[in-house]
Amino acid sequence: MSNASVFAALGDATRLKLVSRLQSGRHLSIAQLTRGLELTRQGVSKHLHVLEQAGLVSSKRVGRETRFRLRPDRIVRARDYLTRAAAQWDEAVERLKAAVEG
Amino acid sequence: MSNASVFAALGDATRLKLVSRLQSGRHLSIAQLTRGLELTRQGVSKHLHVLEQAGLVSSKRVGRETRFRLRPDRIVRARDYLTRAAAQWDEAVERLKAAVEG
DNA sequence: ACATCATGCAACCCTTTGGTTGCATGATTG
DNA sequence: CAATCATGCAACCAAAGGGTTGCATGATGT
């Protein structure tokens, strides 16, 4: 829920790949998402639940499979946090420069 | 250096606070950064080295203290990654909508 | 010189994490 | 109904993470 947990969820190469795969906008099953990732289905499943816990994806049971889709609102939230962080740093540095010259 | 490692570095509440504290643009010592964070100086030191390893901050020895400052280029890089991720998802969803209607 | 301050390094500890295997269960297909 | 497919759950394991304490060292202040 916090910004830190969202960044933590993105801080793993496998999970970044999963997010990347879900950028297609489609609902993908665990088996589909496992394809091409050199680890077990259960490993992928665990990663997906981490992403879901952080609010980055949502899941829906469809027949015998569980489909995951991206929920980009949290991604946008994290992006805005970084945008503000960089902007505040810029402003602070400008103020410091001015103070040194003055 | 990878995006994943930058996100991982940001994925901890203490380290986010350190980044926030460094948004002032100033060079701060470990002792200064420890103030107000309820944990040991060595704990803070470890976190700072994680941030430095990820390229988010840089350090410089000044007399008997080690000063850290923000290096926002990596932050901007991470922000751009998230911006592109959200944009690609948007486009893909639009294409899917069009395909369903067609 | 001496006391103090800021730090680094190493050892240690407990918890979390990333990964696996084995088995049970509910849906699908033939 | 039988076989198979997709998944969940639990146990387990090694490695990494976050934290501490103790000690050594180099810089500062008196």
For strand C, which residues in window 14-53 of chain A come within 7 Å by CB? 14, 39-40, 42-43, 46-47, 50
Instruction: State whether A13 and B26 contact (CB < 8 Å).
Output: no
What per-residue confidence (pLDDT) applies to A91? 95
Q: In what order do the strands lie in the sheet with A65-70?
A: A28-29, A65-70, A57-62
Q: For B70-81, what is each residue's pLDDT tens digit?
A: 999 999 999 999
Q: For A62-77, what is each residue's pLDDT tens digit?
A: 999 999 999 999 999 9
Instruction: State whether B25 and A79 contact (CB < 8 Å).
Output: no
Residue A71 near chain B (CB below 8 Å): no
Residue A82 near chain B (CB below 8 Å): yes
Q: For B51-66, what is each residue's pLDDT tens digit?
A: 999 999 999 999 999 9
- pLDDT-based confidence at A101, cuts 50/70/90? confident
Among A30-34, B28-32, B98-102, which is the least confidently predicted range? B98-102
Per-domain boundaries in chain B: 3-72
Domain B3-72 belongs in CATH node 1.10.10.10:
yes
Task: Please state which CATH number belongs to domain A3-101.
Answer: 1.10.10.10
Tokens of A74: 């949290």
**Residue, of B102 and A53, whose pLDDT is higher:** A53
Strand C bases within 7 angstroms of protein beta carbons: 5-10, 17-22, 26-28
Q: For B12-41, what is each residue's pLDDT tens digit?
A: 999 999 999 999 999 999 999 999 899 999
Tokens of A46: 């665990």
What per-residue confidence (pLDDT) applies to B22? 97
What per-residue confidence (pLDDT) applies to B99? 86
The enclosing H or E element of B75 equals helix B73-101
Per DSSP, the residues of chain A read: --HHHHHHHHSSHHHHHHHHHHTT---EEHHHHHTTSSS-HHHHHHHHHHHHHTTSEEEEEETTEEEEEE-THHHHHHHHHHHHHHHHHHHHHHHHHHHHH-
The enclosing H or E element of B50 equals helix B41-53
Nearest Cα residue to A39 out of A67, A5, A60, A13: A13
**Residue, of B1 and B47, whose pLDDT is higher:** B47
Chain A: residue nearest B24 by CA?
A: A92
How many angstroms separate the CA atoms of A69 and A28, rounded? 7
Task: Return the ∠ at Cα A74 (arms to B24 and A30), rounded to 5°.
Answer: 135
Instruction: State whether B85 and A20 contact (CB < 8 Å).
Output: yes
How many angstroms separate the CA atoms of A84 and B91, rounded? 25
B9-CA/C16-C1' distance, Å: 16
